[in-house]
Structures are given as C-alpha cells and as structure tokens.
Amino acid sequence: MTLALNSRLDDVEASHGVAFSGSIQEITQQLCDYLAQTAVERDAAGGTPYEQRQAVRDSGLLKLLIAKNDGGLGGNWQQIYSIIRQIARVDSSIAQVFAFQFLMLASIRLYGSESQWQQYFRLTAERNLWWGNALNPLDNRTIARKVTGGYVFSGQKSFCSGSMGSDYLIVSAIEEGSGKFLVAAVPTNRSGIHLNGDWDNIGQRQTDSGSAEFTQLRVDDSELLMQPGPLSSPFATVRSLVAQLIFTNIYLGIAEGALQEGAKYTRSSSRVWSGSLANTVHEDPFTLLHYGEFWASLHASAVLADHAANLLDAAWQQTLGLDEQTRGELALAVFSAKVNATRAGLDVTTRIFEVAGARATTAKLRMDRFWRNLRVYTLHDPVDYKLKDLGDWALNGQYPTPSFYA
C-alpha cells in the first residue's frame, strides 16, 4: 500500500501556532519550516523539545506506517525515509526521534504476534501515540525475573532515544537464569520506570538519548513481543536494516542541510580570495570544484539510499515469505548506502568551512552543529564492520549474518 503525496490530512492548529493542512509533502514542509525557526537556539540549549514534539504529533505524521484500515496513513518506507531526510536537514534531533517512532512500530510488527501488532497499531493511530526506545541490545544490565503472569524488570538502559515525553516504550531485558533476550511494549508512565534525562552530548542534543532505570517494573506476558520474537526469521531480522537505513537517511539529511546552509552563506557573505583570478566567489574555480565534489558525493549516496528503501519496501511486503537471499541483498544495499553516506557526510560537514570561509565559524550561526550531530550519530555502530560485511560478500560471496546490528 502506498501513500499519494496529494493525500490530505485534517487541518490542525495547536498551541505551537502551526496550522497543518494540505498534502503529506506540504505538511512535511510546514513542519520543517517551523522546526527551522528555532533549530539553532535549541541546539545550544539541549534538553527536551516538548513544543516541537507536540507539533510533530499534531502534524499527523506519526501514523505514516500504519495502514489506512487501522486509522493510519498507509505509507511505505521510501516515503517515510524521504520525510526523515527532509526533517534532518533542518533539525536532526527531531528527525531521529521521529524516525525511532517507526523503528519501534517496526519492532512491534516484526517481533509480536498478529493480534499484538494490530492492537498496538490501532491504538497508536487512535491516540496519536509517541513511541520511545529503551531496547538497546548491547546493554544487558536490565534483568527480568519470572513471576506469575509475567516478569519483573530491574536494571538500567543507556541510549534511550525519544524516551522523554513518549507514551509507550519498547524495553528489553535478559531473563534471569536462561539468558534469553526479552522485548516488551509498556506504557512510559508505568510505575517502576524512571527516565534520567541525562543526555548531554556534543551532538544530537535534543534526542533525549540518555539513560533509564527500571525498578521492579511489572511486565505482563501479554506485553512481551516474543511470538515470533527477535531474529526468529529472515523477516524478523529486517528490524536491524530498518534501523541502519534510518541512520543513513539522517546522515544524508544532516549533510544536505550543511550543504544548503554553506551554499547560502557562500553566496551572500563569502569573499573571493585575493589570489583568485575570478571577480566573485561565485566564479572561483576552486570554490566550484569543492561544491561539485559535495554535490556528487551526496547525490550518489542519496541514490544508494533510495535504492535500498525500494528493496526494503519489497521485502516488507513479503512478510514471513522473505527468504535469506532476498534479505541478504537488502542488507548489502543498506550497508553500501550507509558507508557512502557516512563518508560523504563527514567530508561535507567538515570541508564546508573551506568554501564558506572563516567568518562562517561565528558562534551565532552554529554551522558546526552539522558536523557535531553527524559525528555523534555516526558512532552508533562502527562503519568498519559494515565494510567487513561488504568485503565478505565481494571476496567470498557471503551475505551479512543477521543480528541486531547487521
């Protein structure tokens, strides 16, 4: 099922003063324009952007992945990634939290039973719910103890992006004794959940990616997403590829935003170097060379990302019929896109100052935010391991082994 870009949502105006109306693309542009108004100041402030997150909720875009029959917009992954990338150009923190909405919904769809994911999808559409992340499979400090009718979770989790202000969380724990990995969906306001609000990194400063503590958190058996469960089939392993392509499109959006801001500043304020034979910076051959390199690398990365999104949509439609070969081809496409977006993005966000000039480093512009945001986010998982997987395919014909990160 696809979503036509001329599909319309009900007009919405809330306390943030934005009236959302028109097509999905028009609403996306309205949201981006609104976020751009305060992005620089909020990057400096950090903390939780409650007003901006409410604007995202009011836009209706949180329901993109949910079918129209279930109250959603019936969108596909290519459209979702396009919107994520557009938001990331102006506010990559909001883009990350927005994107994780769909990663959490994908987790429910891939790990839960049919009745579970249908129930949660309908509830999300009906109540316009925000979903937050407290899964982090590398952090095994949360232990689940079996009790009658469910489990009790106790421990800590790090990198809980989008947890503050969310309505529901996807949480994980290690079962005491067996070591089994458990995943569940629980209301964020349930007793036993404490969100520390301690995210204070140099980039992605408004993603609320801090830590959470669980103290005797009751999780009912019905809230466990274990049928079929994580990594239970090629289809279930698609979650990691959904996540990797989220990262890819946010990286691209950040770099595209840097290119836009850099070009705008170069055209309006940069000066031609005294040794140049050109009369203006717009004609300077070295300036044009750099911008040509930026454009070529980002355009190529975008083509790779869009190709991977198309493959993901096709794989998503196959559900449990997805085979290992098709899953493997998708993984190769996603990893290729991520590697190229990482390299191109870090290059652009670093070298944009070489063409914008020394005055572009003024603190009031905060053009360094593009590099800071990208540098922090690209450390999520080492790109070297994606290259290793691609190399194993190129040399040995081996597809990447499915895992929570591959």
Query: Is 379 found in the same domain as 355?
Result: yes
Query: Is 252 found in the same domain as 386?
Result: yes
Which of 223, 249, 282 is the last residue before a domain boundary?
223
Range of the domain at 74: 8-130
Q: Which residues, other chains included, contact 260 with Cβ-Cβ below 8 Å and sequence gap of 6+? A: 89
Would 403 be classed as within a structural domain? no
Which of 159, 191, 223 is the last residue before a domain boundary?
223
Q: Could you give the number of structural domains in the chain?
A: 3
d(CA 57, CA 50): 10
Domain CATH number, residue 153: 2.40.110.10
Query: Is 280 found in the same domain as 379?
Result: yes
Query: Is 265 found in the same domain as 360?
Result: yes
Query: Is 204 found in the same domain as 114?
Result: no
Would 142 be classed as within a structural domain? yes
Each residue's pLDDT, cut to its tens digit, for the chain (406 residues) gives 233 333 444 444 455 778 899 999 999 999 999 999 999 999 999 999 999 999 999 999 999 999 999 999 999 999 999 999 999 999 999 999 999 999 999 999 999 999 999 999 999 999 999 999 999 999 999 999 999 999 999 999 999 999 999 999 999 999 999 999 999 999 999 999 999 999 999 999 999 999 999 999 999 999 999 999 999 999 999 999 999 999 999 999 999 999 999 999 999 988 887 787 778 888 889 999 999 999 999 999 999 999 999 999 999 999 999 999 999 999 999 999 999 999 999 999 999 999 988 888 998 889 999 999 999 999 999 999 999 999 999 999 999 999 999 9
Would 1 be classed as within a structural domain? no
pLDDT at residue number 275: 83
Would 272 be classed as within a structural domain? yes
pLDDT at residue number 15: 57
Would 404 be classed as within a structural domain? no
Would 190 be classed as within a structural domain? yes
Q: Which residues, other chains included, contact 302 with Cβ-Cβ below 8 Å and sequence gap of 6+? A: 252, 256
121-179 pLDDT, tens digit per residue, is: 999 999 999 999 999 999 999 999 999 999 999 999 999 999 999 999 999 999 999 99
Which of 77, 99, 130 is the last residue before a domain boundary?
130
pLDDT at residue number 4: 37
Query: Is 245 found in the same domain as 166?
Result: no
Q: Which residues, other chains included, contact 114 with Cβ-Cβ below 8 Å and sequence gap of 6+? A: none
Length of the chain, please?
Answer: 406
Query: Is 145 found in the same domain as 121?
Result: no
Would 70 be classed as within a structural domain? yes
Would 54 be classed as within a structural domain? yes
d(CA 135, CA 104): 9
**What is the model's pTM?**
0.94
Query: Is 351 found in the same domain as 207?
Result: no
Closest among 138, 135, 131, 61 to 97, alpha carbons compared: 131
Query: Is 66 found in the same domain as 144?
Result: no
Query: Is 383 found in the same domain as 244?
Result: yes
d(CA 372, CA 93): 11
d(CA 95, CA 135): 19
